[in-house]
Amino acid sequence: AQTVTQSQPEMSVQEAETVTLSCTYDTSESDYYLFWYKQPPSRQMILVIRQEAYKQQNATENRFSVNFQKAAKSFSLKISDSQLGDAAMYFCAYCNTGNQFYFGTGTSLTVIP
């Protein structure tokens, strides 16, 4: 199985500031998808952003953007203008061609008012 590594178990950011969450993955496949999911205390998984591996352009969704470095197998998430509602666990996920998801260990994000 593919491995996904999130090296930051906890991160904090001041409200309105920018924070970057790191993610690396290991795969021998060339075709795959990468995702960032948010899990608030309710435990409901919420899709934040997705990136197709064949696309060179980094995905952007409002205040959320990624830095996808395919050669380095790196997929970081940048949250701009952080809001209190952004506080949650963030999981990086790798999806193979069989549509199986493999999740990283998560980063707990705290937003400081």
**CA–CA separation, 15 vs 48, rounded Å?**
19
Rounded to the nearest whole angstrom, what is the least distance from the CB of residue 55 to another protein in the complex?
A: 13
Let me know the angle formed at the C-alpha of 54 by 102 and 107, rounded to the nearest 5 degrees. Answer: 35
Q: Which is nearer to another protein, 14 or 60 (CB)?
A: 60
Rounded to the nearest whole angstrom, what is the least distance from the CB of residue 105 to another protein in the complex?
A: 5
Rounded to the nearest whole angstrom, what is the least distance from the CB of residue 65 to another protein in the complex?
A: 19
**CA–CA separation, 43 vs 61, rounded Å?**
22
Rg of the chain in Å (alpha carbons):
13
Residues that bind another protein (CB under 8 A): 1, 33, 37, 42-45, 47, 50, 91, 95, 98-106
Q: Which is nearer to another protein, 9 or 15 (CB)?
A: 9
